[in-house]
């Protein structure tokens, strides 16, 4: 299941149409904030979290290490990005 969350409101990625995205971004702009946008993609063996820099609280280095270990286990070279 893949989702997108903008300024605290979440939808399935397939339901995140342009009008909803525009409304969520404009709502943040009206209160003078940049929206926090997070996209979570999960399919098969892949789980990926993406977010805008203004969200804060990211997973940082820990996620990077997990990704490198996974790439190594899949035989993708040294595992370096």
Q: How confident is the model at residue 81 (pLDDT cuts 50, 70, 90)?
A: very low
The answer to the question of residue 62 being in a domain is yes
Give the CA distances from residue 8 to residues 25, 53, 66, 71, in Å, rounded to whole numbers and listed in that order: 11, 15, 27, 32
- What is the share, in percent, of the chain residues with pLDDT greater than 70? 69
The answer to the question of residue 13 being in a domain is yes
Q: Which residues, listed in sequence order, are joined to residue 3 by a DSSP beta bridge?
A: 12, 40
The answer to the question of residue 78 being in a domain is no
Structural domains of the chain, count = 1
CB atoms < 10 A from the CB of 6, how many? 21
Which helix (H) or strand (E) covers residue 77, if one does? Answer: none
Compute the average pLDDT of residues 38-46.
Answer: 92
> Containing domain of residue 15, as a range?
3-73
Predicted pLDDT of residue 54:
86
The answer to the question of residue 79 being in a domain is no
Is 55 within 8 Å of 38 (Cβ atoms)?
yes
Predicted pLDDT of residue 76:
65
The answer to the question of residue 38 being in a domain is yes
Residue 23 or 7, more confident: 23
The answer to the question of residue 81 being in a domain is no
Give me 25's structure tokens. Answer: 């971004």
């Amino acid at each position: 299941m893949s989702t997108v969350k903008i300024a605290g409101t979440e939808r399935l990625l397939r339901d995140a149409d342009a009008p909803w995205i525009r409304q969520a971004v404009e709502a943040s702009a009206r209160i003078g904030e940049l929206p926090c946008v997070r996209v979570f993609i999960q399919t098969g063996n892949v789980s990926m979290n993406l977010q805008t820099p203004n969200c804060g609280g990211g997973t940082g280095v820990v996620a990077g290490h997990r990704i490198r270990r996974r790439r190594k286990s899949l035989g993708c070279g040294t595992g370096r990005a």
